Copies of this chain bind each other. A is one copy, B any other.
Amino acid sequence: MIPDTTPVELEQALAAAAVAAPAFGTSEPAVRAGWIRTVADALDGAADELVPIAMRETSLPEARLRGEVARSTGQLRMFAEVLEEGSLLEVIIDTADAQAKPVPRPDLRRVLVPLGPVLVFAASNFPFAFSVCGGDTASALAAGCPVIVKAHPGHPELSARTAEVMIAALASAGAPAGSFGLIQGFDVGVTALKDPRITAAGFTGSVPAGKALHEIAVTRPEPIPFYGELGSLNPVFVTQAAIDARGKDIATGYVGSFTLGVGQFCTKPGLLFLPAAHGLQEQLAAVVGGVAEAPMLNDRIKDGFGSGRDRLQKVDGIRVLASGSATLLQTTVPELLARRDEILEECFGPVSIVVEYNGLEELRAAVEAFEGNLTATLHAEGSDTELAAELLPLLTARAGRVLWNGWPTGVAVSWAQHHGGPFPSTVGSIHTSVGVTAARRFQRPVAYQDTPDAVLPDVLKDANPSGISRRVNGTVTTGEVSR
């Protein structure tokens, strides 16, 4: 049993983060990259110790958890690489223009600087990748912000041990003390969120918790940005041509996706829209019947899943297509539209709904029934180009990631990734929580006007001694790399 962080310990963590912030934030990008790589190496080195703790606390299987460690450390190394490359600083230089109209233009050099200490509320369902050493932490450290993680109560010992490994690694690499800290306890997290030394917060979790914390963050005496990933239904729409071409694969892929990780993914496909004549009932039932029993993260989540699934099953117009270790429900578009709010409520766990549509008008109406989602998926064929051209803008308006002939579970960590979406899937839809651009959440621009080279940060000097990518007078250029 890990006790809650005491008020004295919380004060120490906040004070240490505030003290660390200037040195951590003005560290050379390449130096910070080294610190972050040391953390990645230490976590990889500690995997044999950490994974068994995670298995015990989350009931997730070893292979999945080892994959998560690799994902998390790969993510840290990606940020280290990008820090060295320099684009993360978004340097823009406009040299002086005495002839500019209507008035002469001064020399302006813009760079992104870190906000300061960041508070991260860890998620339960990815004990590595969206927890202590997850994407919010990695992107905030890359941005130059000290991080305090509020541990998820679902894996307190893993959180404590992960933090110890990270803190030791940062210290051994020479990062300022206070660059990273961990706190435990619900009230402790709320107190930290209200503290003036915290300059931004990241969150992954439920809609009610996310909305409550968001409101605290944005109504503080000094409001701060709050990036919350709340809930998502991740609908999948399938055309008749796709069914004709690969109906059985779609059935198998769908069940695999909504039961992956016992349905405990924020990108779980919650609804699959099939043409009424899909003929896949038996196939779907057979695949669902073959899903192996697996424990959920904890009893609270298991109970929540049970009551959510029971509630869904009782909604008028919902029928059970198959049930066992996983539950597959079914309904039709008119029935969904008639009870939209009841049916379109996320149920975390291995349950999903097949929704049959009759004709393209019902398909369109189904797409338009959705609010913001992390993802929306279309399964279609080459012959559907016209239909796809019509549907993709509707999906784009409702989702942060639009998939073609794929499944939304699995979020690649790369430059182009966007993990976010219109409300209520996130608050802060203009930012991502996964991928390189996630760091932008924790940075603000500063422009230096007519400031001499001698006192400018290196990345803004004429000679570009760090050789980073910069936009100079409108054009992106890469300097001479002198290192």
Contact = CB atoms under 8 A, between A and B. Distances in A.
Contacts of A474: 82, 85, 415
Contacts of A455: 385, 388-389, 392, 404
Interface stretch (A67-75, A184-192, A272-280): A67-75
A246 interface: no
Of the candidates A396, A406, A446, A451, the one having the most CB atoms from chain B within 10 angstroms of its own CB is: A446
A176 interface: no
B218 A412 contact: no
A401 B449 contact: yes
Nearest to A387: B455
B412 A106 contact: yes
Contacts of A67: 102-103
A182 to B, nearest CB: 25
Contact of A417 (B110, B392, B410): B110
Contacts of A445: 400, 418, 420, 430-432, 437
Q: Which of A70, A102, A222 has the most CB of B within 10 A?
A: A102
Interface stretch (A247-255, A327-335, A359-367, A421-429): A421-429
Interface string A381-414: 0100100110011001101111111100010101
Nearest to A95: B416
Interface string A97-118: 0001111011011100101000
Interface residues on A, range: 35 or more
B403 A449 contact: yes
Contacts of A404: 448-452, 455
Interface in A181-219: 214-215, 218-219
A209 to B, nearest CB: 15
A8 interface: no
A415 B218 contact: no
B447 A417 contact: yes
Interface in A6-23: 22
A257 to B, nearest CB: 13
A393 B22 contact: yes
Question: How many copies are assembled?
Answer: 2
A74 B102 contact: yes
Given A103-B412, A476-B476, A402 B447 contact: yes
Contacts of A102: 67, 70-71, 74
A94 interface: yes
A139 interface: no
A444 B418 CA distance: 10
Nearest to A424: B222
Given A103-B410, A106-B406, A454-B385, A444 B416 contact: no
Contacts of A447: 400-402, 416-418
B223 A405 contact: no
B103 A402 contact: no
Given A22-B393, A26-B393, A450-B406, A427 B103 contact: no
B469 A399 contact: no
Contact of A105 (B101, B214, B218, B414): B414
Contacts of A150: none
A152 interface: no
A396 B113 contact: yes
Q: 4 closest A-B pairs (Cβ-Cβ)?
A: A418-B447, A70-B102, A108-B416, A404-B451
10 contacts: A70-B101, A94-B416, A214-B223, A219-B219, A225-B428, A225-B430, A404-B448, A415-B473, A430-B441, A430-B443
Interface of A: 22, 26, 67, 70-71, 74, 82, 85, 87, 92-94, 100-103, 105-106, 108-110, 113, 115, 214-215, 218-219, 222-223, 225, 382, 385, 388-389, 392-393, 396-397, 399-406, 410, 412, 414-418, 420, 422-424, 427-432, 435, 437, 440-441, 443-452, 454-455, 469, 471, 473-474, 476
